Structure formats: C-alpha cells, structure tokens
Amino acid sequence: MLIELLVVLAVIALVAMFGIRQVTRARMAVREELALNHLRTIAAACALYQRATQHVPVDLTALGPSGGEPPYLDEQLAQPSLTLQGYRISYARTDATSFTLHADPVRHGVTGRRHFVTDERREGHTTELNRPAELNDPVAAVFEWVTRRGPA
C-alpha cells in the first residue's frame, strides 16, 4: 500500500514538473513577443517622428504626449528607461538621423532567451547568447515587418 502511494506521488510529481516547465517556456515566449511588439511600436514611432522633423528623437520622451504634437507613443512607452514584462528596452540616438533600440531580458534564461536590436533601418536582429544583440547578428524572421518601407 505504501509503495503504491509513493509511485502515485512520483507520477504526480513528474507530471507537475513537466507542466511547470511548459508553462515557464510559454511565459518566456509571450514575454519575447511583447518585447518585439514594443520594438515594433517604438521603431515605427521613431520613423514617423523622423519624417515629420527630419531627425530622430533625442530620447523616447520626445515621442510621448508631453514631447510634442502629435504624440507618437503613449506614456507607458515614452519613458527614458523602460522595463516591461521582463524585458529592458533601451534607446540610444547615435546622431541626428540614426538610433539603436535594444530589448534585453532582465534575467537571461528566466524572463527571456533572446536579445533584440533594431535601428533606423528597422531591420531586427537577434541572438540567444547572454549578451545584447548587435546589428551584425542574424536578421530575425519575426522582424520581417520592419524591412518593408512605406512611401516617403
């Protein structure tokens, strides 16, 4: 009787362990998608801002409601420093017409596996190495939307 109970508990523990692992992977995938969506939104806002002003914003606050008319981003994304859903998003203006935008997991392997970067060309690059993505890393298939440009 005791052995049967131990076997049942072991089976339940195994099922729970695999279930928790799958839930963790699913949550990580959702966080990565959210980070990509934030990069997509911010990169598009930067492109619209550049079309209107002939230069990229100094920082993300210039894209928000207090930065000017019209606002290109809502207040949540128009912050100088962003940490959203387990990803740290950072914007850096490199000169009047170029910028880089990174999304890195707060804890690599826990909140996300992939690191992302894009720039004014809006081509997304990614790496699964525990370092920020670089513009010479492979182009991410999930960033194909950013390679198409609309009319100028």
What's the order of all strands across the beta sheet hosting 98-105?
A: 82-84, 87-95, 98-105, 115-119, 125-127
Average pLDDT over residues 43-52: 91
User: Alpha-carbon distance 76 to 138, whole Å?
Assistant: 29
Is the pLDDT score of 4 beyond 90?
no
The whole-model pTM stands at: 0.80
Question: So what's the pLDDT on residue 141?
Answer: 55
pLDDT in tens, 10-42: 888 777 777 777 888 888 999 999 998 899 899
Average pLDDT over residues 117-126: 88
Question: So what's the pLDDT on residue 46?
Answer: 92
Average pLDDT over residues 50-74: 90
Q: How confident is the model at residue 49 (pLDDT cuts 50, 70, 90)?
A: very high
